[in-house]
């Protein structure tokens, strides 16, 4: 019995130590095999910091090859708090030169880290001032910064990037996945005493992003922005926008808003100035929307040039209200209704067409839907379903009330008349390329109007400019057609149309030879005059004259170059 008890004690002790041995063996195996990568990463993190760098963003060019946006070298400031003995002194210097709040700097320099950013992408002069001070624990890393060569020109098209060169607005945002470079990085190591930082020779070089060529012409864009600013200031207006598109392809030659901003200093400007009003602002178009009634009436063959419409001497009772003309017209021909921009005449024409037919053409011409322009933030506008139209709607929607549009939509609708009946998609990207990759834009268009109908509509709009409300838009030796618009703005507070706030517009086309383009102009709340024919039409004329002359000159240069490259 004693023998058995002794053996049991030996067995128990042996089992206990064997169990301890197995636990230790299991722990060692776990640490060496299963948790190897975790502890390796933990060790590395104590001695290695990896700083990532984006590759150069692609260059953005205009249609003539001018650089609009590119990446340039700049410097960012970092610090190793453990190497800074006199933190107060260093804080003073950094705050004064870099204009960074002292409290923020003190917090950063008190962090238990070996690397903290002080300020990213500083001006060269600030970098030189700091370098001359030779502050212990403060260093520089070269980075890339986005630079917009034309400053404010094309700002609402290009948009901008954040501190890490990621697109946040405009084309920079829309095509960010193409423009953004592939990431690279560099390792920062601490030496064995953990007192110094050294850069590892192991650097992963970033790859540049793709470049983009635009349909925009920087010269035309400059004129548009210059003349728009002059008009806004002349009439003490709140804001304004201009869009120019090629009538046949939809290429956007210029797109401008005022006020503007400088994308090189985007953070200094409020969102209201950065908003791309040409595509984000919805407004009631007023009389420029009468081109929809014009196209629908012609295409449906409901009216001929001989038809006479009685315009009620300027006062017409309709359900819920009274419709007025800006002049008391009596009998007007079909053409004269549009030449003189009679609200009553247009309402009667649309009423005879019927709600269904008119609504069908509103939809056909793209209203109520996005144009799908390659810019972020476009609104689709506001078009009530036919089932929600009131007894007043089919009288006032044809004259541009109770419907919301953006300026690009109006430009595309006018292009239907200018190009022979096709609704085109407006676009800004001509091509994207990098090594081994090329993406070219395609012209997207859809026939929405017969050729004969577009020709007749064009002839009437030519008369609007020659003899009607758009006389101030005439350009010598060129075909110019268009429509004026003077729209009262709806006051949301009083729930009535404002007697003092207007939007003045002119939408038209310019043709000479092989050149044909549409210009859409809208000026918000002009105060010295509010008529589209007075405010917007002269701006259209200025832009049209300069653009036509320039495009003809460019065509001559291209033609001569092609002829010169041919066989002798």
pLDDT (tens digit, 9 = 90+) per residue, 457-477?
Answer: 999 999 999 999 999 999 999
Strand partners for 255? 243
pLDDT computed for residue 354 by the predictor = 92
Average pLDDT over residues 110-124: 85
- Strand locations in 8-137 (E): 48-53, 60-61, 67-79, 116-122
3-state SS of the chain: helix, strand, coil percent to 5? 40, 25, 30
pLDDT of residue 403 exceeding 80, the answer is yes
CA-based nearest residue to 518, from 555, 550, 485, 544: 544
Report d(CA 367, CA 283) in Å as an integer.
12
* Residue 268 DSSP label: G
Q: Is the pLDDT of residue 196 over 80?
A: no
The pLDDT of residue 5 is above 60: no
Q: How far apart are CA 406 and CA 370, in angstroms?
A: 9
Which of 38-42, 60-64, 297-301 is predicted with the least confidence, judged by mean pLDDT?
38-42
Which H/E stretch holds residue 169?
strand 167-169
Greater pLDDT, 420 or 131: 420
pLDDT tier for residue 13 given thresholds of 50, 70 and 90? low
SS3 at position 270: coil
**Residue 186 burial class via C-beta count within 10 angstroms: exposed 0-12, middle 13-18, buried 19 and up:** middle
Distance CA 407, CA 388 (A): 25
Which segments of the chain belong to CATH 3.90.1310.10?
49-73+146-214
CA–CA separation, 467 and 474 (whole Å) = 10
How do residues 206-259 score in pLDDT, each as one tens digit? Answer: 788 999 999 999 999 999 999 999 999 999 999 999 999 999 999 999 999 999
> What pLDDT score was predicted for residue 81?
85
SS3 for 175-193 is CHHHHCCECEEEEEEECCC
- Residue 30 CB neighbours (<10 A): 11
Whether 44 shows a pLDDT value over 60: the answer reads: no
The answer to whether 34 and 188 have CB atoms below 8 angstroms apart is no
Residue 71 has pLDDT above 70, yes or no: yes
Query: For residue 330, what are the contacts with CB-CB under 8 A and spacing of at least 6?
Result: 310, 311, 313
Site of tokens 């409901």: 302
**Residue-averaged pLDDT of the chain:** 88
| Buried/exposed 376-399: b ≥16 CB within 10 Å, e otherwise | bebebbebeeeeeeeeebbbbbbb
Lowest mean pLDDT among 4-18, 118-132, 355-369: 4-18
Every domain of the chain with CATH number 3.40.710.10 lies at 218-564
Give the per-residue pLDDT at 72: 86
Residue 42 has pLDDT above 50, yes or no: no
Using the predicted structure, report yes or no on whether residue 133 has a pLDDT greater than 90: no
For the cut 80, the answer to whether the pLDDT of residue 194 exceeds it is no
* Residue 37 confidence class, pLDDT cut points 50, 70, 90: low
Dihedral in degrees, nearest 10, Cα atoms 448, 411, 280, 525: -130
Please compute the mean of the pLDDT values over residues 341-349 and round it to a whole number. Answer: 96
pLDDT at 550 over 50: yes
Structure-token pair, residue 204: 């992963």
Q: Are 113 and 81 in contact (CB under 8 A)?
A: yes
Which whole number is the average pLDDT over 543-547?
97
- pLDDT tens-digit readout, 72-99: 888 889 888 888 888 888 888 888 888 8
Topology at the third CATH level for domain 49-73+146-214: Penicillin-binding protein 2a (Domain 2) (3.90.1310)
Residue with tokens 């000479």: 512
Least confident of 22-31, 204-213, 445-454, 482-491: 22-31
At 80 the pLDDT is 86
Confidence grade of residue 187 (pLDDT, cut at 50, 70, 90): low
107 pLDDT band, cuts 50/70/90, is confident
What CA–CA distance (Å, rounded) separates 123 from 340? Answer: 58
Q: What percent of the chain has pLDDT over 90?
A: 63
What is d(CA 276, CA 142) in angstroms, rounded to the nearest whole number? Answer: 33
Residues 6 or more apart from 51 whose CB is under 8 A from it? 115, 141, 185, 186, 188
Q: Ranked by mean pLDDT, which of 46-60, 136-150, 449-463 comes out on top?
A: 449-463
Report pLDDT for 88. Answer: 84
**Among 307, 296, 298, which residue's Cα sits nearest to residue 334?**
307
User: Is the pLDDT confidence value at 281 over 90?
Assistant: yes
**Which has more confidence, 13 or 158?**
158
Say if residue 528's pLDDT is above 50.
yes
Structure token digits, residue 349: 């024409």
User: What confidence score (pLDDT) does residue 568 get?
Assistant: 35
3-state secondary structure of 71: strand
Name the pLDDT band for 566 (thresholds 50, 70, 90): very low
Is the confidence at residue 567, as pLDDT, over 60? Answer: no
CB within 8 A of 72, min separation 6: which ones? 144, 145, 147
Range name among 152-166, 210-224, 405-419 with the lowest pLDDT average: 152-166
Q: Is the CATH number of domain 218-564 3.40.630.30?
A: no
> What is the rounded CA–CA span in Å between residue 430 and residue 216?
9
Asked whether residue 195 carries a pLDDT value surpassing 70, the answer given is no
């Amino acid at each position: 019995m004693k023998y058995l008890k002794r053996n049991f004690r030996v067995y128990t002790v042996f089992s206990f130590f064997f169990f301890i041995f197995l636990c230790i063996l299991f722990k060692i195996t776990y640490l060496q095999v299963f948790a190897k990568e975790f502890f390796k990463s933990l060790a590395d993190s104590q001695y290695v910091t990896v700083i990532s760098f984006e590759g150069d963003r692609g260059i953005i060019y205009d249609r003539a090859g001018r650089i609009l946006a590119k990446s340039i070298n700049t410097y960012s400031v970092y610090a190793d708090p453990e190497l800074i003995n006199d933190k107060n002194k260093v804080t003073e210097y950094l705050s004064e030169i870099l204009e960074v709040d002292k409290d923020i700097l003190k917090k950063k320099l008190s962090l238990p880290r070996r690397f903290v950013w002080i300020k990213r992408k500083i001006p060269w002069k600030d970098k030189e001032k700091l370098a001359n001070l030779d502050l212990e624990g403060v260093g520089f890393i070269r980075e890339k910064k986005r630079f917009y060569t034309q400053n404010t020109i094309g700002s609402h098209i290009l948009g901008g990037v954040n501190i890490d060169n990621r697109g946040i607005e405009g084309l920079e945002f829309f095509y960010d996945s193409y423009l953004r470079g592939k990431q690279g990085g560099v390792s920062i190591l601490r030496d064995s005493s953990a007192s110094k930082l050294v850069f590892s020779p192991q650097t992963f070089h970033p790859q540049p992003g793709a470049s983009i060529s635009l349909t925009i012409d920087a010269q035309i864009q400059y004129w548009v922005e210059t003349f728009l600013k002059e008009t806004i200031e002349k009439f003490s207006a709140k804001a304004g926008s201009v869009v120019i598109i090629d009538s046949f392809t939809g290429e956007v030659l210029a797109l401008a808003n005022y006020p503007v901003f400088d994308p090189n200093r985007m953070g200094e400007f409020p969102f209201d100035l950065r908003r791309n009003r040409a595509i984000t602002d919805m407004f009631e178009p007023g009389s420029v929307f009468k081109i929809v009634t014009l196209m629908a009436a012609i295409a449906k063959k409901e009216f001929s040039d001989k038809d006479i419409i009685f315009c009620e001497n300027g006062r017409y009772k309709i359900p819920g209200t009274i419709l007025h003309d800006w002049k008391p017209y009596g009998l007007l021909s079909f053409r004269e209704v549009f030449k003189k921009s009679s609200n009553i005449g247009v309402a009667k024409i649309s009423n005879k067409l019927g709600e269904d037919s008119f609504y069908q053409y509103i939809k056909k011409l793209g209203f109520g839907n996005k144009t799908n322009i390659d810019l972020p933030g476009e609104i689709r506008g506001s078009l009530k379903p036919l089932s929600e139209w009131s007894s007043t709607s089919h009288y006032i929607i044809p004259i541009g009330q109770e419907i919301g549009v953006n300026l690009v939509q109006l430009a595309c609708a006018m292009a239907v008349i200018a190009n022979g009946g096709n609704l085109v998609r407006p676009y800004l990207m001509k091509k994207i390329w990098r090594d081994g990759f090329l993406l070219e834009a395609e012209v997207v268009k859809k026939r929405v109007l017969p050729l004969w109908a577009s020709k007749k509509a064009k002839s009437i709009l030519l008369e609007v400019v020659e003899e009607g409300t758009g006389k101030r838009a005439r350009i010598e030796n060129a075909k110019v057609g268009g429509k004026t618009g003077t729209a009262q703005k709806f006051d949301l507070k009083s729930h009535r149309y404002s007697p003092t706030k207007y939007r003045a517009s002119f939408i038209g086309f310019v043709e000479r030879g092989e050149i044909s383009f549409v210009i859409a102009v809208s000026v918000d709340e002009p105060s010295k005059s509010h008529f589209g024919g007075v405010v917007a039409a002269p701006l259209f004329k200025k832009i049209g004259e300069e653009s036509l002359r320039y495009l003809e000159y460019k065509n001559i240069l291209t033609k001569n170059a092609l002829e010169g490259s041919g066989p002798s």
